[in-house]
A and B are shown apart, each in its own frame.
Chain A
Amino acid sequence: MLELRKDIFADERDDNLNEIGKGTQRQDMLGHVTGTSSYFNDHKLQGMLHLKVVRSTHSHARIRRIDTADAERSSGVRRIIRGSDVPRNLNTLLSLINFGKDDEPSLAVDKVRYKGEPILAIVADSERKAFEAIAKVRIDYEPLPTVFDVEDALKAGAPVVNETYPKNAFIYHDVYDHQKLRFGDADAALATADHVLEQRYQMSPIEHAPTETNGSIAAPDTNGRYVVYTSTQALFFSVDTCAKILDVPSNTFHFIGGTVGGGFGGKVDTLTEPLCILGAMLTGRPVRYVFGREEEMQYGPPRGAERIYIKDGVMRDGRVVARKVRAYFDSGAYTRLSSYAAVKCAAHLPGPYTIPNVYGDVYCVFTNRTPATAMRGFGVTAMDFAIECQMDKLANLVGMDPMEFRILNAYRDGDMKAHRREAKNTALIECVQVAAEKAKWPIRDEFKRASSRKDGRGSRAAVPRTPTDTRGGTTAPTQQRTTYDRQPTTALREPPREPPPPPPQPPRPAAPSHGAGRFSSVFGTRRR
């Protein structure tokens, strides 16, 4: 049951509106209940072929040889696509916003870095024919040592998962192997706190499990274009990713989607479209590439695991005076979006509380597992779990009611947040008060009277003196620099060290030549 508490913050709202605030029926409800809402797979195309990928059976291995001779001769096979057939067989999703280095092939060439990594794509007359051909492919692997634990991966001598990041950590700002957050002097505050509590939290990966699996249908359209029906939850992200990987202008594609059978973050990665379109380009026929459920569960990207250490200092009166956090995002074998989640996570510290001394180091770590991606609450869900369990323990430690403890420490309008922006439009206190009321959880009057709009600002608005450090700086230049590197964001500051000189470009298989610059319809001019 849902109750609208119109009485709260009423003075900040104009409730005198015609359509806003009404429980109007969904525009798509009639389609949903009649089964006529059209998803990507509800398109029947003449002469459609089916694409299935051959996946690595090893978590980490060099590929010695790929023998497709028998598979090529298998009945109903139209085309076997190898990495060398992919025009630009190296990409990272956020290259579209100039963040991170290209680190992931569409089809593995020399090495596989996680179990289930695609190596070949087989386009055949039917799924059965594709499955029969897959069984005839022979791949000779040389297994390599694996690493599955984020902290093991960061140790010296750990197997290198992804050569683009030889320390198994994403590099932030060209310098650090983690994203820092520094606000005040956490160590000093911990030294004088009445209690210090340090705890470890762990979240295992989580699968999006949309009822519709990832997939797409690509077909040659008139005038040299391709129409693509897709389950993507980011249409132009997918258009531009395909344009980059397939090295064609983005207006080669007519992407159609928009009605998707659940996503929850699992349909951002443009998992099927590039190979599906390439299959259509190479065969001249419509091609469908849909994940099976086991593929979706095991090789579709999950919400990545996170390991979090929190060390808090709290005073006897319940004030949290310091919070020190070290967090590791398990990105799996490639970056996808975890690099961004770590930044978002750093900004989220220390949770919705005003704590005068906050210190955070957030790592995006590579391991030999399925690459992780975004999911509902990306970068925040596990941190909220850690922080809120920690808050419960702290309240227990100082003998305070957990609701009152949160109200005491809640951020309020005008407070300075740890990422150095003023807190505005806050409402945590009111949420706690209303939840207490609903749950018949007694809190004392002084806490019932508290307000997000009162008692902030003042000394709480100051940016404290903050020692900084260069811990975690990379000592060696990163092995590969691509032209998609993010611009250093420290133009106005003294950079801690000179950026490393760009090493020569690694050889790329069969990459066509490019112009010096290109205008992307989506993300503006890209540097090359």
Chain B
Amino acid sequence: MTRHRGRGIASVNYPIGMNLGGDPSQALVHSNPSGKFTVALSSIDLGQGMKSVTRQICAETLGVPVEDVYVDTADSDTGPHCMGSFASRGTHRVGNAVMAAAREARGVMMEAAAEELEVSAADLETDGRGNIHVKGAPHRSISTKDVAIAAQFKQGKTISGRGIFLVPLSNVDPETGEMSPATCYAHACLVAEVEVDDETGEVTMIRMDSAYELGRALNPRLVEQQLVGGAWMGVSHALYETPEPYYPDPVHGPRDFVEYIMPGPGDICPHDIAVLERPAPDGPFGAKGPGEMCANPVLPAVANAIFNAVGVRIDDLPITPEKVLRAIKAEGGARPQARR
């Protein structure tokens, strides 16, 4: 028997956004005369889904279908200021800014609709399908398109809104480290199962089971993308990656994708994910941000699983076959721990 299986766990939390220097983002929302809305941002979509998630936030807040909203990102002439896409801040900070802008735009839209329907704006509601009607009287209705035309050509109103969300600078106490590093935290727990070859030190991922709490899954498909891809990156960090394989000796740095190793499509394992949603009081619809924390629990869970499998602790990342093999040899062989 040269291959041993083991399971390990890790549980983590993660701060949403950055605290240094203040952390603002802005958004602008406006409609065209057909009642279609544009969100103007300077925020970046690097694959995480910024455009898509802010689009849903805007549509929900305006009370219009998501198809009626288009998000335009990252133009410094048209998009208002955003700190950038990092520190898990996108959904939370930009989402809140879009919400604020959409709320203001909705206010004007409802006023314009009220004027057309000759009722008070407070008596109106949106149906989420592109219409505004009197509460309790769906037949007294006007389409957002007609509202937009009326606002533009008759009433002289601009259906638009400005939004900013700012988490102010948190001072850091030099003596105690007292500070407000974040306004909310995401959480995760992950169980990794591995197989370790005690003659070669090779570690094979068998499966992962996880629970991630991220405030609100604004779009479960986007959340799934982040969590599946992020956990893959966690495996990669745990077992494979570094541009300095002999750190701190700066030699033999990889120059290409053959030398810089990341798990290939033949190295992936099943990953069963549960998503929990405990809304953050200051998150857009309670959302936090899944983008960064998803990788973090994988690294220690894998290390702990390796201990469970062969009884060696590898405290240096990445956990290469060489480190595992050296440790096993130092222990005089694999010492599988109680199966769990």
Is chain B found bound to chain A in the same assembly?
Answer: yes
- Check A302 for interface membership: any CB of B closer than 8 A: yes
Q: Given known contacts A378-B87, A385-B317, A392-B304, is B128 in contact with A205 (CB within 8 Å)?
A: no
B10 touches A489 (CB 8 A): no
- Check A259 for interface membership: any CB of B closer than 8 A: yes
- Check A36 for interface membership: any CB of B closer than 8 A: no
Nearest opposing residue in chain B for A250, CB measure: B76
What is the CB-to-nearest-CB distance from A251 to chain B, in angstroms, rounded to a whole number? 9
A235 touches B74 (CB 8 A): yes
28 A-B pairs in the complex with CB atoms less than 8 angstroms apart:
A2-B223, A4-B277, A5-B276, A18-B63, A20-B56, A20-B285, A26-B222, A180-B175, A182-B175, A206-B243, A207-B243, A293-B256, A352-B11, A388-B12, A388-B300, A388-B304, A389-B303, A418-B177, A419-B178, A425-B185, A427-B278, A430-B211, A430-B276, A431-B187, A431-B276, A432-B9, A441-B340, A468-B175
A434 touches B315 (CB 8 A): no
Q: Contacting A19 at CB < 8 Å: which of B41, B60, B340?
A: B60
| 5 additional A-B residue pairs with CB within 8 Å, beyond A204-B242, A235-B42, A432-B211 | A23-B220, A254-B77, A293-B256, A298-B254, A367-B248
Distance of A12 Cα from B281 Cα, bound (Å): 10
Distance of A97 Cα from B170 Cα, bound (Å): 12
Distance of A338 Cα from B60 Cα, bound (Å): 38
- Check A265 for interface membership: any CB of B closer than 8 A: yes
A297 touches B254 (CB 8 A): yes
Q: Using an 8 Å CB-CB cutoff, how does the interface string of B185-215 with A read, 1 for contact, 0 for none?
A: 1011111000000000000000001111100
Total B residues in contact with A, Cβ cutoff 8 Å: 135
Distance of A340 Cα from B21 Cα, bound (Å): 10
B303 proximity list for chain A (CB < 8 A) = 385, 389, 392
Distance of A369 Cα from B128 Cα, bound (Å): 55
Distance of A257 Cα from B303 Cα, bound (Å): 39
Residues of B within 8 A of A (CB): 7-15, 18-22, 41-47, 49, 51-52, 55-57, 59-60, 63, 65-66, 70-77, 79, 81-87, 128, 169, 171-182, 184-185, 187-191, 209-213, 216-224, 227-228, 230, 233, 237, 241-245, 247-250, 253-257, 260, 262, 271-281, 285-286, 291-293, 295-297, 299-301, 303-304, 307, 313, 315-318, 340
Which A364-401 residues sit within 8 Å CB-CB of chain B? 367-369, 374, 376-378, 380-382, 384-389, 391-393, 401
A175 touches B174 (CB 8 A): yes
A264 proximity list for chain B (CB < 8 A) = 46, 233
- Check A260 for interface membership: any CB of B closer than 8 A: yes
B233 proximity list for chain A (CB < 8 A) = 264, 376
Distance of A330 Cα from B250 Cα, bound (Å): 13
Q: Given known contacts A294-B255, A427-B276, is B46 in contact with A267 (CB within 8 Å)?
A: yes
- Check A291 for interface membership: any CB of B closer than 8 A: no
Distance of A349 Cα from B28 Cα, bound (Å): 37
B217 touches A4 (CB 8 A): yes
Q: Given known contacts A5-B275, A263-B46, A360-B177, is B317 in contact with A24 (CB within 8 Å)?
A: no
A183 touches B176 (CB 8 A): yes
Q: Given known contacts A180-B176, A419-B178, A427-B213, is B66 in contact with A3 (CB within 8 Å)?
A: no
Q: Given known contacts A5-B275, A431-B11, is B57 in contact with A20 (CB within 8 Å)?
A: yes
A2 touches B241 (CB 8 A): no
Distance of A389 Cα from B238 Cα, bound (Å): 12
B55 proximity list for chain A (CB < 8 A) = 24, 27
B237 proximity list for chain A (CB < 8 A) = 206, 381
B75 touches A256 (CB 8 A): yes
Q: Using an 8 Å CB-CB cutoff, how does the interface string of A243-265 with B read, 1 for contact, 0 for none?
A: 00000000001111111111111
Q: Contacting A389 at CB < 8 Å: which of B7, B271, B273, B304?
A: B304
Q: Give the residue among B257, B292, B317, B340 with the most A Cβ atoms within 10 A.
A: B317
Q: Contacting A388 at CB < 8 Å: which of B10, B272, B286?
A: B10
Interface stretch (choices A78-86, A161-169, A402-410): A402-410
- Check A13 for interface membership: any CB of B closer than 8 A: yes
- Check A420 for interface membership: any CB of B closer than 8 A: yes
What is the CB-to-nearest-CB distance from A7 to chain B, in angstroms, rounded to a whole number? 10
Nearest opposing residue in chain A for B240, CB measure: A206
Q: Given known contacts A22-B56, A97-B22, A199-B315, is B286 in contact with A13 (CB within 8 Å)?
A: yes
Which A416-451 residues sit within 8 Å CB-CB of chain B? 418-421, 424-428, 430-436, 438-439, 441
- Check A6 for interface membership: any CB of B closer than 8 A: yes
Q: Contacting B260 at CB < 8 Å: which of A17, A98, A297?
A: A297
- Check A1 for interface membership: any CB of B closer than 8 A: yes
Q: Using an 8 Å CB-CB cutoff, how does the interface string of A1-40 with B read, 1 for contact, 0 for none?
A: 1111110110011000111111111111000000000000
- Check A275 for interface membership: any CB of B closer than 8 A: no
Distance of A437 Cα from B86 Cα, bound (Å): 32
Q: Give the residue among B82, B177, B273 with the most A Cβ atoms within 10 A.
A: B177
